[in-house]
Every structure is written in C-alpha cells, then in structure tokens.
Amino acid sequence: MCLAIPAKIIEMKDDHLATVDILGVMRDIALDLTPQAGVGDFVLVHAGFSIEVVDPDYAKETIDLITQFPELAGDEMPLGEETAR
C-alpha cells in the first residue's frame, strides 16, 4: 500500500528542498512537484516528494486518522498533537 502523509514545511532549502515536520519527525523532502509551497504550508509527502499542497484542516484531519492507526505511522513516529498546529 502506498501512503502520502501530510507534513508541515518548517524550512526552505536550496535546490527545491525543504525540511518538513511529519508527526514530530523532521525530514528533508523535494518540492519539485509543488514549487508554490512555502514555509508553514502543509503538503502531502510520498517517497520523499511533496506531491500536493493541502489545506491545514485537511492535514489535521488526516493526521488525526493516522494517529488512530499506529501501525500506519511506524514505531519511529511519535504520535503527538503538536504536528498539526
């Protein structure tokens, strides 16, 4: 199963890269498919790429659903409320 997960852009970097917060874990992703995304935006991330900019309410709703199924988030992902803020 493939899953795109909402992430909040924390920092923009060179070469169309950004640091995002995914359930409290920081990752670097590529913004090649969403060049309009900026700091504070929520994006759907799949395979290290941002594939769509999404509404913050949609992101929070999706994160809430994911936290109800810890097996989707994996062991390394803390399931705190702070991500969707």
Distance of CA 32 to the CA centre of its chain: 15
In whole angstroms, what is the distance from residue 45 CA to residue 47 CA? 7
Is the pTM here over 0.85, yes or no? no
In whole angstroms, what is the distance from residue 15 CA to residue 35 CA? 11
- Domain of residue 52 covers 5-77
Domain total of the chain: 1
Q: What local confidence, expressed as pLDDT, does residue 56 receive?
A: 97
Structural domain includes residue 82: no
Structural domain includes residue 84: no
Q: What local confidence, expressed as pLDDT, does residue 69 receive?
A: 78
Q: What local confidence, expressed as pLDDT, does residue 83 receive?
A: 45
Q: What is the pLDDT along the chain (85 residues), one digit of tens a residue?
A: 568 999 999 999 999 999 999 989 999 999 999 999 999 999 999 999 999 999 999 999 999 988 887 765 555 545 444 444 4
Structural domain includes residue 65: yes
In whole angstroms, what is the distance from residue 81 CA to residue 30 CA? 25
Structural domain includes residue 83: no
Interior angle at CA 76, CA 68 and CA 80, nearest 5: 45
What CATH number should be reported for the domain holding residue 41? 2.30.30.140
